[in-house]
Amino acid sequence: MKIVTIVGARPQFIKAAAVSREIARHPDVTEIIVHTGQHFDKNMSDVFFEEMQIPTPRYHLNINSMNHGAMTGKMLEGIEPILLKEKPDFVMVYGDTNSTLAGALAAKKLHIRVVHVEAGLRSFNMQMPEEINRILTDRISDILCCPTDKAVENLKQEGFEHFPSKVIKTGDVMQDASLYYNTFSADKSAIINDLGLAGQDFTLCTIHRAENTDDPERLSGIFAALHEISLEMKVVLPLHPRTRKIAVTLGLIPELINSQLLIVPPVGYFDMIELLKNTRIVLTDSGGVQKEAFFFLKPCVTLRDETEWVELVDKGFNALAGAGKDKITNACSEMKGKQFDFNVDMYGSGRASKNIIEAITEHR
């Protein structure tokens, strides 16, 4: 059996690595990885793949820095001849990027079965390009690997019981990856000592979604909250240069930054794991980081008005705070004062990759 895996963003490589490790345990299954290049990253070198123990992609399309339509179309054009050459039994796609949709479309038009990992997630916000990508990918997928009960329920509500597809709750491959890399992240990262955080309480914050970074009012509210939080506890904020430039232009980052608000360049995956393991609380607008906070036993305040990971909110591990200063600071104070029992299995406890490969082999 042959599987072609389509990935294009750094988080997808980490998720795919978990599944690739499981595939390697099956000598009768061959995997070929295609990197679309959607998220161009100079750090995506051989060293990155070696350190992360990620199989090197056989094909690189180098498609990036385009508008959504042009990018998706170019990816379709690049993926199709690869599928015609390789003739896989399945094409596997992850999540909700343009690479996800392009891979699924290219496969479906060639009558190749599609496996969607992280199927069934919904924010119910059609202004998000990710929501459009995940809905369309789900609809044309043959095996839908859902990370949660809510994802399964979403597909049921959309009528998938009547479609010629298989919906399976597999658990979340991000938990598989987090558990695996946690075993040696401390050996790969010195960020806690480098930033002088050893033995200190600190808040970890990430901001990257366009709904926040491209909206001056929302970004101003978030930074106002971070400045206030930093008066009581150090805040570590890995910030993309583009977002930092916007913040400087808006006057949100003064020349002499309060030493308690520590703004650093984007960090690698091992550094992020160590920050998550050592932080007191997480503030983020990232879907992945919301879950990673839970995986590493930390409460989370989400800087959005909705989330796909509703079970975290329902169980009290996550609070939706939007982008208003008072709502964020109040949520942060409330979450810091709570006691949490993280001994809850919501994401498969590290068995998701195994469940995915079993589902594929059963429907080969």
Catalytic residues, which ones?
208
* Ordered DSSP codes for 59-80: EE----SS-HHHHHHHHHHHHH
* CA 270 to centroid of chain Cα atoms: 15
Q: How would you class 251 by CB atoms within 10 Å of its CB: exposed for 0-12, middle for 13-18, buried for 19 or more?
A: exposed
Q: What is the DSSP letter of 4?
A: E
The answer to whether 171 touches 18, Cβ cutoff 8 Å, is no
Amino acid (1-letter code) at residue 136: L
62/357 Cα distance (integer angstroms): 28
Token readout for 34 is: 């295609």
327/222 Cα distance (integer angstroms): 10
* CA 3 to centroid of chain Cα atoms: 22
266/264 Cα distance (integer angstroms): 7
Token readout for 104 is: 């699924």
* CA 180 to centroid of chain Cα atoms: 16
Q: How would you class 9 by CB atoms within 10 Å of its CB: exposed for 0-12, middle for 13-18, buried for 19 or more?
A: buried
Q: Report the relative pairing of strands 202-206 and 261-264 from DSSP bridges.
A: unpaired
175/295 Cα distance (integer angstroms): 7
Which runs of consecutive H residues, i.e. helices, occur in the chain?
A: 10-23, 46-52, 68-86, 98-109, 129-140, 149-157, 173-182, 185-188, 191-194, 210-213, 216-230, 241-249, 269-278, 287-295, 310-314, 325-336, 352-362
